[in-house]
Amino acid sequence: MRPEILFDLFKSVTSLQGVGPRNAVTLENATGGNRLVDLLWHLPVNIIDRRYAPKITEAQTGIVATITVQVLKHKKSPNRRAPYKVECGDDMGKLTLVFFHAHEDYLRKVLPEGETRVVSGIVENFSGALQMTHPDHIGTLEDIEKLQAIEPVYGLTAGLTLKTISKAIRAALDMVPELPEWLDGAQCSQQGWSGWKATLLEAHNPDGSSALEPNATPRLRLAYDELLANQLALAVVRRTLRRQKGRAIKTTGKLSEIVLGALPFQLTPSQITALEEISTDMSGNERMLRLLQGDVGSGKTIVALLAMLGAIEAGHQSAIMAPTEILARQHLSTITPLVEACGLNVVFLSGREKGKTRKSVLESISSGTAHIIIGTHALFQDDVEFFDLAFAVIDEQHRFGVHQRLTLAAKGRAVDMLVMTATPIPRTLMLTAYGDLEVSRLTEKPAGRLPVDTRVMPIERLDHVIDGLRRSIETGARIYWVCPLVEQSEKIDAAAAEERHKYLVSQFGIPRVGLVHGRLKGAQKDAVMADFKTGNLDILVATTVIEVGVDVPEATIMVIEHAERYGLSQLHQLRGRIGRGSGTSVCLLLYASPLGAMAKKRLKILRETEDGFLIAEEDLRLRGAGELLGTRQSGLPEFHIADLANHGDLLATARRDAQLILERDPELSSERGKALRVLLYLFECDAAVKNLRSG
């Protein structure tokens, strides 16, 4: 249960006065959540300095000024379209306040003739006269101190005004309780950090533009709190998993020898090293928790299969789970022919299997007649019962969170976990997302793979591209055409892909161009992919559903439209779909002019290197962690305040601190330990607290 001291912070924003369902939606769009705590994490992105308070005639135009005036006269034009004007003055000059679509009653109430008022806004010169259009603030002399201040500016979204969000955030800040101090006192005084509440208030009331920087003292403290919660939670989960006794799986390697004999290639040195590391883990008494990191095409699946065979030889079951049906079926088609000679039974389970087929698959899993189980999220479901699951592989781990790893592990007893990703992850991100895992890396590409020729060109040269593709198709080339990311909406992305498909059909003819996107039914996707694979299609138009798990060695050309909208790592993933055969491959990155400086840098890096790890480090540096994997559902922790590109050193300190805390106070039962439990709940690391309870 969340501690009572935090109850208010997790209330809905609609509990605030003046926030109805409509405002709640716009606030959620801006902050990413609909609770008070989400407002607290939404820190200012800019400031408006209202301290400049000149006399009217001394006021500089084009900047914000806060001016004390006498209200002289309200002037309403007979022309309904003309603006409503309020003439004001001081002992040095005159200023006209201008309002469009005005409510006269309201303006007469806040600006009564003959009274003194304070107005704040941008002063303009219109036909030689000074005016202020729609002042941001109107107040009395009692409000002058409040108005002549630095005002925080927050990130907005469509339909949300600065006034609405500022009011909601101020109301949320009023409800913030004093929380017990979870940081070490010596560390706080050394860094000059105040308590959590004082720090939060300071971060929301910047005293200048330097206070908006990631290394401003209040932001550093809040970022450290968040990173400490993350590292402590991972350390608790890791310790809990380590405490669960493993089972030593020893193998003679007979099945592996059969499969290795059937492979048309030799394993690379790093594949051999990874297998040795996995084998050592499996034969020990502790459960294996290992991440296998390797670039697209580096041969992770074969390493996973050989490791799975070890568990099967010892009399247990192995499972491999992938985030999409396309990727899961790819594993099925790779693994099945390789293990046929071993006499093993491979079964497949996705959400698509229904009725008798599903029943038969479930029976083979629960009876133990299925040796290797390949599937999607469907493997999590309650009715999936394993006979004896001992080894589980999770592919493209960045699509799953830690809790999903744990759910699959709970399907067996002391399950060894191998987590795989083709998305190279920088070291700082490794610590936040996979702090509970050991790491193996595959660094070579399989022999015979040639580098991909990457070219960048403006989309205005589309005709030129089409002509080039015609020539390539005549020589038997197959082509991926990836459509732009429109927004985080499969529906809109799919519409863009359909539009492009229509255009390419008009250029190349109906039977030669296929279309695949996230809104197609599974069977439709499979049929199109099969046609592309067998050569019935020359061009496959797709959204990023082809980012992972599509293996067509004959595809040698990839066109990526609006490449400037993608992250480096995602472009690298997409490019990895080609260059899988023995011929030369070309990747065309089409961009819309003009190209921004940041996009130019990203595309330049992609042209210069195919080293996924180097690309990932650059991507983190250029874009920050939040967008690194190009997907919000990435399973990576989405930090509210911490920015790994700027706070990498804080992360290393938080990791050491978390280890030290658990060494000294394993159950977090001391006074500081209890405060740290509050921290874990504040950052919604509830699973870690449950692990503490269950020991």
pLDDT in tens, 591-650: 988 888 888 888 899 998 888 778 877 877 776 554 443 333 334 557 899 987 788 889
Structure tokens at 107: 């303006």
Highest mean pLDDT among 288-292, 368-372, 374-378, 683-687: 368-372
Select from 3.40.50.720, 3.40.640.10, 3.40.50.300, 2.120.10.60 the CATH code of 452-609. 3.40.50.300
Structure tokens at 93: 């000059």
For residue 385, pLDDT beyond 50: yes
- For CATH 2.40.50.140, the residue range(s) in the chain are 51-148
Contact residues for 384 (Cβ-Cβ < 8 A; gap 6+):
349, 362, 365, 378, 411
For position 632, what pLDDT does the model report? 36
Structure tokens at 162: 């600065």
Mean pLDDT of 524-544: 86
For position 624, what pLDDT does the model report? 57
Q: Phi/psi of residue 557, each to 5°?
A: -130, 135
Contact residues for 424 (Cβ-Cβ < 8 A; gap 6+):
293, 295, 569, 572, 612, 613, 615, 616
Mean pLDDT of 646-661: 90
Helix axis angle, 671-682 to 644-664, nearest 10°: 140
455: helix, strand or coil: strand
- Across the chain, what does the average pLDDT equal? 87
Range in 403-412, 452-461, 500-509, 557-566 the model is least confident about: 403-412
Whole-angstrom distance, CA of residue 143 vs CA of residue 148: 9
For position 428, what pLDDT does the model report? 67
Range in 212-216, 237-241, 360-364, 660-664 the model is least confident about: 237-241
Assign residue 687 a region (left: φ > 0; alpha: ψ between -120 and 50; beta: otherwise): alpha
Q: What is the DSSP letter of 579?
A: S
**Predicted confidence band of residue 435 (pLDDT cuts 50, 70, 90):** low
For position 406, what pLDDT does the model report? 67
Range in 47-61, 332-346, 428-442, 646-660 the model is least confident about: 428-442
308: helix, strand or coil: helix
**Predicted confidence band of residue 523 (pLDDT cuts 50, 70, 90):** confident
For residue 312, pLDDT beyond 70: yes
Contact residues for 113 (Cβ-Cβ < 8 A; gap 6+):
71, 72, 73, 74
Higher pLDDT, 543 or 434: 543
Amino acid sitting at position 428: T
Fold of 51-148: OB fold (Dihydrolipoamide Acetyltransferase, E2P) (2.40.50)
- Residues above pLDDT 70, as percent of the chain: 90
Q: What is the DSSP letter of 127?
A: T
- For CATH 3.40.50.300, the residue range(s) in the chain are 254-442, 452-609
If DSSP states are collapsed to H, E and C, what string results for 524-561?
Answer: HHHHHHHHHHHCCCCEEEECHHHHCCCCCCCEEEEEEC
Higher pLDDT, 400 or 459: 459
Highest mean pLDDT among 80-89, 232-241, 482-491, 598-607: 80-89
Burial of 252 (0-12, 13-18, 19+ CB in 10 A): exposed
For position 170, what pLDDT does the model report? 96
**Alpha helices in 382-456, H assignment, sequence order:** 402-409, 427-434
Higher pLDDT, 313 or 527: 313
283: helix, strand or coil: helix
Overall size of the chain counted in residues: 695
- Residues above pLDDT 90, as percent of the chain: 56
Beta bridge partners of 131: 96, 124
Amino acid sitting at position 33: G
For residue 513, pLDDT beyond 50: yes
- Name the architecture of domain 254-442: 3-Layer(aba) Sandwich (3.40)
CA distances (Å), origin 342, targets 205, 253, 371: 68, 12, 11
For residue 273, pLDDT beyond 80: yes
- Beta strands (DSSP E) in 342-448 are 346-349, 372-375, 389-394, 416-421, 438-442
**Alpha helices in 397-489, H assignment, sequence order:** 402-409, 427-434, 462-474
For residue 404, pLDDT beyond 70: no
Whole-angstrom distance, CA of residue 171 vs CA of residue 349: 50
Whole-angstrom distance, CA of residue 625 vs CA of residue 630: 10
Burial of 106 (0-12, 13-18, 19+ CB in 10 A): exposed
Query: Which strand ranges, in their side-by-side order, compose the sheet holding 289-294?
Result: 346-349, 372-375, 317-321, 389-394, 416-421, 289-294, 438-442
Mean pLDDT of 434-440: 75
Whole-angstrom distance, CA of residue 183 vs CA of residue 232: 12
Range in 161-165, 501-505, 542-546, 626-630 the model is least confident about: 626-630
Mean pLDDT of 347-367: 93
For residue 180, pLDDT beyond 60: yes
**Predicted confidence band of residue 250 (pLDDT cuts 50, 70, 90):** confident
